Chain A
């Protein structure tokens, strides 16, 4: 059984624009699937649908074989801790009025008592925060600062630490490096790759940057105007039988 399976997922906005058309793919445990496409092709909407932040009109989204669609917030709560997300802009995914520690431990406060973690072994809250900061290679001293006192790369590391804190099965990475400078981008990708192996995570890596997707993923999906145009494994990227749109994207990055 696949960890995540989407069957014929479609979504149409109220004004009649079809934003997702018959999306189908599966994602296995410990796998990273890359989803690439230009801005506005529906990548982020797909992420929001998987997280049930937006509803779908047709199809089904199965997580460990259980359908997620049409569940209300209360019934979704057990799944929430298993599907986490890292967003594009770390500056607005941390509450500016709360200290880093408060934001970082949000999932812990919610699920801490019932969390049965394999990797993180902690005696108390402070110890847990220290381990999380350590996992993303940040000094614990930063935990008592406010988000505006940190750099973009540091903030993104905090959001990653928050996403991994409950050792979820799946993390959706929605353009996690696009708002960072080139050096931070490389180190964040390296960190994400390391964490995936260490914590046995699965990623759905969404990006418009084909080179970043290629560096991270075993499987790559190319999306255009709400449909998946092409799908292939990493090794097949430069094969002759690639879709013309994929070739166009490749030529942009060469």
Chain B
């Protein structure tokens, strides 16, 4: 049967892709730890806009800074802040969702109306408006991202919990004298964790894109921080003469977002989260 063939082959290809990407990441991390010798923000105008060489594998930018160094250290900012925003969104969204779904009634309506209010604006617009209001800077950008992203987790978790809480095994747990807290942590949490991991890994890519794009338009990281979006912005005037200055940070973003999406797909297969079939 065709279905069974594709079912068995697909995860294998994905696993191989994932392994290659993880291998590359490990190699890059090793390079960053062992070989890296330049200061990412040290300005050296004698060496500006150098082409690729052994000394500077990806050349230097308009202020003579090593591009490879900046991309590698920039991953700390882009990926690190992405993860931080994601963790904060999960940490706020999941408990809210569990409480709203399990307790129902007023608490449910209260949380969900707040969620509705947050959801009625597109992510990017809210992020732009909030970082515009609070002032540019990576901290304010993170606050803006957490404010728009926690809602997704609260909604997802709430819908799972409210469909599970009427099932007999939850009733049995009540009859067995388990407190609400233990029912939530022992019986409901295992149902949530897979879904949340899948959504989180897919969201990480989106958050990284959001951070980079807002940094690109000047609302996120400020110079001289080697954030990838900010690097793209710095390189804009030199797009015609030295296109590699834009290509490499751009590739880094593509690479990381691809990695998080593949990870999300892999987790979805692993946790067997039901896919919405388009057919």
Interface residues of A (CB under 8 A from B): 51, 53, 73, 77, 80-81, 83-85, 87, 89, 92-98, 102-103, 106-107, 110-111, 159, 162
Give the CA-CA distance A53 to B172 in the complex, in Å: 10
B169 touches A80 (CB 8 A): no
Give the CA-CA distance A53 to B166 in the complex, in Å: 12
Q: B167 in the interface, Cβ–Cβ < 8 Å?
A: yes
A-B pairs with beta carbons under 8 Å apart, 7 shown: A53-B171, A85-B172, A87-B172, A89-B168, A93-B171, A110-B176, A162-B172
- Asked whether A87 and B168 contact (CB < 8 A) given A97-B190, A97-B191, the answer is yes
B167 touches A92 (CB 8 A): yes
Q: B178 in the interface, Cβ–Cβ < 8 Å?
A: yes
Closest chain A residue, CB of each to CB of B178 = A110
Contacts of B178 in A (CB 8 A): 106, 110
A80 touches B168 (CB 8 A): no
- Asked whether A103 and B169 contact (CB < 8 A) given A98-B187, A98-B190, the answer is yes
Give the CA-CA distance A96 to B187 in the complex, in Å: 9
Contacts of B176 in A (CB 8 A): 80, 84, 106-107, 110, 162
Contacts of B169 in A (CB 8 A): 92-96, 103
Name B170-221 residues within 8 Å CB distance of A. Answer: 171-178, 180, 182, 186-187, 190-191
Residue-by-residue, is B146-178 near A (CB-CB < 8 Å gives 1, otherwise 0)?
A: 000000000000000000000111011111111
- The 8 nearest A-B residue pairs measured at CB: A80-B177, A97-B190, A93-B168, A92-B168, A107-B176, A95-B169, A110-B177, A106-B176
A93 touches B172 (CB 8 A): yes
Give the CA-CA distance A213 to B199 in the complex, in Å: 50
Closest chain B residue, CB of each to CB of A108 = B176
- Main SS of the interface on chain B? helix
The number of residues on chain B lying at the interface, defined by a beta carbon within 8 Å of a beta carbon of chain A, is 17
Contacts of A111 in B (CB 8 A): 177
Closest chain A residue, CB of each to CB of B189 = A97
Give the CA-CA distance A73 to B175 in the complex, in Å: 10
Give the CA-CA distance A84 to B174 in the complex, in Å: 10
Apart from A73-B174, A95-B173, A162-B172, 10 more pairs, CB < 8 Å: A51-B175, A53-B174, A77-B177, A83-B175, A85-B172, A92-B168, A93-B171, A98-B187, A110-B182, A159-B172
B278 to chain A, nearest CB (A): 27
Contacts of A81 in B (CB 8 A): 177
Give the contacting residue for B175; candidates A53, A95, A96, A103; CB below 8 A.
Answer: A53
Closest chain B residue, CB of each to CB of A174 = B168
Give the CA-CA distance A201 to B172 in the complex, in Å: 19
Contacts of B187 in A (CB 8 A): 95, 98
Contacts of A80 in B (CB 8 A): 175-177
Name B120-169 residues within 8 Å CB distance of A. Answer: 167-169
Contacts of B172 in A (CB 8 A): 85, 87, 93, 106, 159, 162
Contacts of A95 in B (CB 8 A): 169, 173, 187, 190
Closest chain B residue, CB of each to CB of A51 = B175
Give the CA-CA distance A51 to B191 in the complex, in Å: 26
Closest chain B residue, CB of each to CB of A76 = B177
Give the CA-CA distance A53 to B177 in the complex, in Å: 12
A107 touches B177 (CB 8 A): yes
A117 to chain B, nearest CB (A): 15
B113 to chain A, nearest CB (A): 24
B198 to chain A, nearest CB (A): 15
Give the CA-CA distance A85 to B203 in the complex, in Å: 43
A85 touches B175 (CB 8 A): yes
Contacts of A84 in B (CB 8 A): 175-176
Give the CA-CA distance A171 to B173 in the complex, in Å: 15
Closest chain A residue, CB of each to CB of B171 = A53
Give the CA-CA distance A187 to B191 in the complex, in Å: 33
Give the CA-CA distance A51 to B171 in the complex, in Å: 10
Give the CA-CA distance A102 to B168 in the complex, in Å: 16
Give the CA-CA distance A81 to B175 in the complex, in Å: 8
Contacts of A83 in B (CB 8 A): 175
Give the CA-CA distance A87 to B169 in the complex, in Å: 10
A106 touches B168 (CB 8 A): no
Give the CA-CA distance A103 to B187 in the complex, in Å: 9
B189 to chain A, nearest CB (A): 9
